[in-house]
Structure 1
Amino acid sequence: MSRPLSVQLYSVRDQLTADRDGTLRRLADLGYGAVEPYDVLADPKGLRASLDELGLAVSGAHVVQLLGPEPGPVLDAVTALGTDLAIVPAGIPPEDFTTHDGLARAADRLNGLADAAAQRGLRVGYHNHWWEIEPRFEDRAGRHAVEVLAELLDPAVFLEVDTYWAAVGGADVPALLRRLGDRVRALHLKDGPGTKDDPNVAVGGGTMPVPEILGAAPDAWRVVEFDSCAGDADALFDELAASRTYITSLEEA
């Protein structure tokens, strides 16, 4: 994997609010080479300038606002950040993933954004939680809802698979990634006890089969994320450092 390891900035949301540039510098000092912003409308040009000063790339951007009435400014902000991957991380009703009709509606919403994104040289993606995984469809070997969705999506629309939530939702994650194949352009790497509500731990310190996951999607961006972490800010950065060390050791092996 030649791309730099990325970190989802939601992991350090409180620290960013208190001191954006100091937090970004701390991530760079840990050895991360890229970030994935989650609030693209908040000073994208200023954020890009700060990232450039630190030598940090942008692996992609989370854009829940893309489902709003005016996607144009959101896509312009993604362009300003210097990435071509605009990822919808939420905003589609969870119940839409429980029926074929609902999945068709979800696909139509995402497909409808693909042309507007393409006009700016961007691609739209979708990021899962557990509710796109738990529903199973018996029409073909009990597929997970996200697999049915993938078949309905325009080829231009990609997936960012949150590997931890996929496991919480009941998936054999390496097998799921192999079935989804080239549709997967990015991975969220996180670890923990495999439950919905408990804090995350450093990647490699929980229940996730990380080596098998990386092997199943060798060309996807690797993005570390913590939804929550036990302890204070220093503990979080320690866990981020340990995650980078572990993932890097696997990639270099």
Structure 2
Amino acid sequence: MEDLTLPNIASLALWRMRSYSENMAWATANLRQLTGHEDVSASYVLSAYWVTDPEWPEENLDDALRTICTPRILLQREAQFLESEREQAEQAERRILTNGHDGSGIEPFGLSGVSIGHASWSGVVYHPFSPDQALAESDLVACELATQSMWAYCEYINRQVESGLDPDLPEPHGWRFLRGAKSRLVNPRPQETGQHRAMRDAIVKTSGLLEHLDQAIDIARQSQSQGTS
């Protein structure tokens, strides 16, 4: 978690790309410490932005937050993330704020008058207008951790298959565990608020997790049936 004050979204985009390798190294070191295995490594880092003091006018705020959700669109395809690229990024930012963000690949989950929230493949952004009525920061973090941890586990299973190996799954975390995780992620809870459900639906949908889970469940089922036959 980092607290940042930045002059514009172009600065955020450059910071995000520059800091990515550092974040990956940090995540890998922590995973190795937690698991005790030196061959463990992080596969990606997903960004969640909690915007507290936006300075855009009201008519630009939604487009600005959509851009924060996908900051890479401000940078050139072959960008080196150098300071000399800032001017082009700022020009791209001004064009988007003038013409609007088309919202491709983005799922909204805010509540009118209470919050603005957007989820995409590359990140999540949330701005509460009314903190006492909006989602809590811990709600967003918990949902992302649940989604991304299952995504990482499914990716681990699929990576073994793609390497020509039979998946090595711990007994408590076979296909029934995966099936239960899918149910918890997809099905609404009795006391769940509409805001929380909208957030969960948007994050799960844009992550591509459900297709990933279905494939992992099939692989785990086949592996277990072969082991008991």
TM bin (shorter chain): under 0.3
Larger Rg: 1 or 2? 2
More helix by share: 2
More strand by share: 1
Q: TM-score, normalised by structure 1?
A: 0.25
The structure with higher relative contact order (CA 8 Å, sep 6+) is 2
